Each structure stands twice: as structure tokens, then as C-alpha cells.
């Protein structure tokens, strides 16, 4: 049995490495189109979709999938489609509060069959400082926002935008480690349990 991270996100690789477990990465392409507008449902369903796609290719593994979105006033912000979209997102987030939802799914596959499937999410409240148009434009030119939900990364230069957060920091970066640890324990994953 192995732990397989179903993610192309370099952040999620770094995050999982913090848990001091052996794992390998297997990426897949899934559609991120979804009918639901309920944030918790969206991130749990998308994380499950990513995990399922990879689990179908595995024989014996715990497959982990995750998904992160930014939510402001009920509106869901994913990754920006282009620099103009990033500008629109950051302009609306600056000077206000928003939430970051990250869903995590674990699928336990034994002998090619799904033995257990678990999906959970965490929410973090984030307060962003007021930002000038020039500063937003400069940040977008660095390219950093383009692969991130809400068009910012709290773990890089984007940290200078953040006044405070309430909730798990790692949840903002892409996956709550305390939630993941709890889920691996629930699954009785021996690769995680420390003696
Ligand atoms: C808000 C925020 C998001 N992000 C990132 C985390 C996710 O990688 C990304 C949201 O996109 P996701 O679709 O959740 O993930 P992904 O496409 O990067 O990777 P994969 O689906 O293969 O697992 O935004 C940060 O890195 N920092 C932040 O502060």
C-alpha cells in the first residue's frame, strides 16, 4: 500500500511532505465544471473527482485529492483565466474579507476495489489590505497569481497583502494539514500512524 497524491500542485507536494510520509504523485486531468454553488460541496466534489480519476489507475493505495476555491459574498473565484481576470479578482478582494475553502478526499483502494472513500473540507477567513491598482498590476506581471485560486498566493509576495486570517493557514495554501492528518487517522492509514 502506498500514499498517492493526485495533484499537479507543487504546493500540495510540499504540504504533504511536512507530514513525513512516503508518497508519490500521479496527476490526472479532470473537468472542474460543477453544478453546485455551495462552496463546501464544490471543493469536496472536485477533490473527490481528482482522487477517483487517479484511484481508477491504482491497485493498492490511499489516493489523496484536494481542491481550493476563494469565496467572496457567495461568489466562487477559481484560478484566473487571464491577467484581466486576475486584476478583476484582486480588485474585488482588496480591502475586504473573504473565505478560502479547501476540500480533501481520500480513497482507499485494495486489490483494485474502492474500500473506503472520505471527503471533508476546511474554511479559513482572510482579511486583505487595501491595494492600489499599480500594486495589483505589478503583482500580476510577476506571473505569481495565474495558477492560484483568487489570484494570490499567501505563501509568497501575496503574504504582504494579508492583514490577518482566522483558521488554518495551510488550508489557504491548498490543503489543511490538521484535517488531512485527522482523515488519515480515520482511515487507519499505517503509513501515517506514528508508534
Ligand atoms: C488562495 C491560494 C491558493 N493557492 C493555490 C492552491 C491550489 O494549487 C490552487 C487552486 O487550484 P486547484 O484547482 O485547487 O489545484 P491545482 O490545479 O493547482 O492542482 P491540482 O488540481 O492538480 O491538485 O491555488 C495558493 O497556492 N495560495 C493561496 O494563497
> What is the predicted pLDDT for the residue at 195?
53
Tell if the pTM clears 0.90, that is, is over it: yes
Q: Write out residues with Cβ below 6 Å of ligand 1.
A: 7-9, 11-12, 27, 50, 66-68, 70, 79, 100, 147-150, 152-155, 158, 172-174
Residue nearest to atom 27 of ligand 1 (CA): 153
Residue 164 C-alpha cell reads as 490577518
Residue nearest to atom 9 of ligand 1 (CA): 148
Q: Sign of the C-alpha dihedral, residues 88, 94, 98, 103?
A: positive
Which fold does the domain 2-186 belong to in CATH? Answer: Maf protein (3.90.950)
> What is the predicted pLDDT for the residue at 69?
98
> What is the predicted pLDDT for the residue at 53?
97
Block means of pLDDT (10 residues each) for the chain, 195 residues, are 95 95 94 92 98 97 98 96 98 98 97 96 98 98 97 97 98 97 91 70
Specify the ligand 1 atom closest to the Cα of 70.
1
Residue 162 C-alpha cell reads as 494579508
What is the bridge-based pairing of β-strands 162-166 and 2-5?
Answer: unpaired
> Cα of 97 to ligand 1 centre, how many Å?
19
Domain ranges across the chain = 2-186
Amino acid at each position: 500500500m502506498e500514499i498517492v497524491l493526485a495533484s499537479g500542485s507543487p504546493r500540495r507536494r510540499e504540504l504533504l511532505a511536512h507530514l513525513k510520509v512516503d508518497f508519490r504523485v500521479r496527476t490526472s486531468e479532470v473537468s472542474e465544471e460543477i453544478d453546485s454553488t455551495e462552496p463546501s460541496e464544490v471543493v469536496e466534489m472536485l477533490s473527490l473527482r481528482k482522487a477517483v480519476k487517479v484511484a481508477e489507475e491504482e491497485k493498492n493505495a490511499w489516493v489523496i485529492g484536494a481542491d481550493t476555491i476563494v469565496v467572496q459574498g457567495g461568489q466562487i473565484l477559481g484560478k484566473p483565466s487571464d491577467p484581466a481576470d486576475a486584476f478583476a479578482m484582486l480588485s474585488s478582494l482588496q480591502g475586504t474579507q473573504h473565505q478560502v475553502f479547501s476540500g480533501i478526499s481520500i480513497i482507499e483502494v485494495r486489490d483494485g476495489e474502492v474500500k473506503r472513500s472520505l471527503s471533508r473540507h476546511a474554511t479559513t477567513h482572510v482579511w486583505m489590505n487595501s491595494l492600489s491598482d499599480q500594486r495589483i498590476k505589478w503583482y500580476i506581471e510577476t506571473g505569481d497569481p495565474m495558477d492560484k485560486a483568487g489570484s494570490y498566493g499567501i505563501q509568497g509576495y501575496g503574504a504582504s497583502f494579508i492583514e490577518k486570517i482566522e483558521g488554518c493557514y495551510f488550508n489557504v495554501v491548498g490543503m489543511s494539514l490538521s484535517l488531512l492528518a485527522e482523515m488519515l487517522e480515520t482511515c487507519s492509514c499505517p503509513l501515517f500512524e506514528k508508534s
